């Protein structure tokens, strides 16, 4: 089995060490016996991005997000086709906002986005920062992560997570992220696939990997258990 992974704009959209999402996925797949290759697309590079099995883009500053959008727009059709074909795609941090219709910044300037789904994002002057506990359909365990954004996202028809703790798309609690077929968007960073071994296995299964429970990384499992336990204690104390 061979899989091709593409990391979009790793040179500018890489806050919070999110390159690790691709690194840990590639390592996990390789440890499962999958032949894996990882390509990157730099900001001003042009290439054919069709034919990949997994697409990833991480988070950047608000300025770099708009810079990435100016270049990503020319790949709109390729990304839309990949999404419609059920390719596995993960956009974390504010890169997920690029999948909607538009972003309005804090000064009222509007930026047309990729139109993969009819939602829009509005930026504000105040940053929204905090830890999160999330439920994901089909998962026995909660997911954990961290959000640092200055925006609210409206009109998501199919959210990704239900939040037990933290700020969602529009307000505290509620729903967070976006999903269309196997395209996932979330503001949760961490990196999310490092902090949540269950999510790592889930993505690997979507990519066709088998026996995903046969490989585990004790440091990740322990880190997840500690984080989930401490955040749950914090949540109980808030009630």
DSSP assignment string, the chain = -EEEEEEETTTTS-GGGTHHHHHHHHHHHHHTT-EEEEEEE-TT-----TT-SEEEE----HHHHHHHHHHHGGGHHHHHHHHHTT-EEEEEGGGGGGGSSEEE-TTS-EEE---SSS-EEEEEEEEEEEEEEEE-TT-SS-EEEEEEEEEEEE--SS-SEEEEESB-SSSBBSEE-EEETTEEEES-BS-HHHH-HHHHHHHHHHTT---GGG---HHHHHHHHHHHHHHHHHHHHH-
Render pLDDT for 35-70 as a digit per residue (tens, 0 to 9): 999 999 999 899 999 999 999 999 999 999 999 999
CATH number where 37 lies: 3.40.50.880
**Number of domains the chain contains:** 1
Which of 24-28, 79-83, 119-123, 171-175 has the weakest average pLDDT? 171-175
With bands split at pLDDT 50, 70 and 90, how would you rate the model's confidence at 17? confident
Range(s) of the domain holding residue 127: 2-238
With bands split at pLDDT 50, 70 and 90, how would you rate the model's confidence at 238? confident
> What percentage of the chain reaches a pLDDT higher than 90?
92
185 φ, ψ (degrees, to nearest 5): -130, 135
Mean pLDDT taken over the chain: 95
- What is the per-residue pLDDT for 122? 97
- What is the per-residue pLDDT for 173? 87
């Amino acid at each position: 089995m061979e899989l091709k992974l593409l990391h979009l704009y790793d040179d500018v959209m890489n806050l919070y060490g999110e390159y690790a999402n691709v690194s840990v996925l590639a390592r996990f797949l390789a440890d499962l016996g999958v032949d894996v290759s990882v390509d990157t697309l730099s900001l001003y590079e042009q290439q054919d991005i069709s034919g990949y099995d997994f697409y990833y883009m991480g988070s950047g500053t608000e300025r770099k997000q708009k810079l990435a959008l100016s270049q990503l727009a020319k790949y709109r059709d390729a990304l839309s086709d990949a999404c419609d074909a059920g390719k596995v795609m993960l956009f974390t941090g504010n890169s997920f906002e690029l999948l909607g219709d538009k972003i309005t910044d804090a000064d009222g300037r509007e930026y047309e986005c990729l139109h993969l789904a009819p939602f829009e994002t509005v930026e504000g002057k105040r940053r929204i920062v905090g830890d999160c506990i999330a439920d994901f359909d089909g998962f026995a365990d909660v997911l954990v992560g961290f959000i640092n954004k200055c925006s609210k996202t409206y009109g998501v028809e199919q959210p990704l997570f239900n939040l037990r703790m933290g700020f969602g798309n529009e307000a505290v609690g509620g729903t967070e992220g976006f999903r269309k077929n196997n395209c996932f968007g979330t503001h949760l960073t961490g990196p999310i696939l490092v902090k949540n071994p269950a999510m790592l296995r889930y993505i690997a299964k979507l990519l066709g990997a088998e026996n995903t429970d046969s490989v585990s990384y004790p440091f990740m499992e322990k880190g997840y258990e500690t984080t989930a336990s401490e955040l749950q204690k914090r949540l109980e104390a808030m009630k």
